[in-house]
Amino acid sequence: MSIITLNKIYKTYNSRQVPVHALKGVDLLFDEGEFTAIVGPSGSGKTTLLNILGGLDDPDSGDVIIDEVYVNRLSGNEKIKFRLNHIGFIFQAYNLIPVLTARENVEFILELQGVPKAERKKRSLQLLEAVGIPEKADVRPRQLSGGQQQRVAVARALASNPRFVLADEPTANLDSTSAENLLSIMHELNQQENTTFIFSTHDERVVKKARRVVTLQDGTIKDDKTI
């Protein structure tokens, strides 16, 4: 069953100066439980597509339909709430809050969702355990390696039990061992919990693990292969 439908998505930047047509009529469906890589040359529109998919940016035209909700038609506040309850994000730059510990970074999302304190603590510790760094729960991001920070970011993305996780080049800043580990964690969560992952990447090793590879070129879908 499709949980996400992208319908004729167009996005142009700088429309008043020199326009850049980042997406030119993209149609895509994503099913529950997918492990999908979005690939394509630099500038082909991968980040733009993920941002629109996650409701972080609006298309100029077309619809983003998630669980039958037309996300692009929601108001600003409705969109924030929708994101919080449906989508987990993993960014290339981790985006952890520096003054909070690893556990607090994970708990933060649960607090926004109104989850009671004891449950927040339990769930965040479980998640840090799942990503293999339970001993780092009380450590702040600057005391963690890049790979460990990215693991915290994965735990945070999963904290709210999202319908799907979007990751924009999640391994871009990681050494190869950390990248392998991160990928195994994502893969395991996909297999065991049926969490849907959609990630953009330039990394061949990441592409090889994907079950579906969508190739973008100049803002259009050039290829869409399920392996």
Ligand X SMILES: Nc1ncnc2c1ncn2[C@@H]1O[C@H](COP(=O)(O)OP(=O)(O)OP(=O)(O)O)[C@@H](O)[C@H]1O
Amino acid 219 reads G
Check residue 48 for interaction with ligand X (CB under 6 A).
Answer: yes
Question: What DSSP character marks residue 144?
Answer: S
Closest residue by Cα to residue 167 from 69, 95, 112: 95
Closest residue by Cα to residue 125 from 101, 149, 91, 96: 101
d(CA 78, CA 80): 6
Q: Which of 3, 6, 37, 40 binds ligand X (CB under 6 A)?
A: 40
Q: Which of 8, 13, 145, 193 binds ligand X (CB under 6 A)?
A: 13
Q: Which of 4, 6, 9, 22 binds ligand X (CB under 6 A)?
A: 22
CB of 98 to ligand X, least distance (A): 24
Q: Let me know: does 205 contact 179? Beta carbons within 8 Å.
A: yes
Query: Which is nearer to ligand X, 46 or 120 (by Cβ)?
Result: 46
Check residue 46 for interaction with ligand X (CB under 6 A).
Answer: yes
Check residue 47 for interaction with ligand X (CB under 6 A).
Answer: yes
Please give the torsion angle defined by the CA atoms of residues 157, 41, 2 and 184, in that order, rounded to the nearest 10 degrees: -40
76: buried, middle or exposed (CB in 10 Å: 19+, 13-18, 0-12)? Answer: exposed
Query: Which is nearer to ligand X, 94 or 107 (by Cβ)?
Result: 94
Check residue 147 for interaction with ligand X (CB under 6 A).
Answer: no
CB of 75 to ligand X, least distance (A): 22
Query: Which is nearer to ligand X, 139 or 172 (by Cβ)?
Result: 172
Q: What residues does 135 pair with on adjacent strands?
A: none
CB of 154 to ligand X, least distance (A): 20
Token pair of 22, please?
A: 């980042």
Check residue 192 for interaction with ligand X (CB under 6 A).
Answer: no
d(CA 59, CA 93): 24
Contacting range for ligand X; rule: CB under 6 A; set: 2-10, 46-54, 80-88, 134-142: 46-54
* Angle at alpha carbon of residue 124, lines to 122 and 126, rounded to 5°: 70
Q: Which of 20, 65, 100, 213 binds ligand X (CB under 6 A)?
A: 20
Backbone angles phi and psi of 19, in degrees to 5: -65, 140
CB of 48 to ligand X, least distance (A): 3
CB of 39 to ligand X, least distance (A): 9
Check residue 45 for interaction with ligand X (CB under 6 A).
Answer: yes
Check residue 43 for interaction with ligand X (CB under 6 A).
Answer: yes
Name the site residues for ligand X (rule: CB under 6 A): 13-14, 20, 22, 40, 42-48
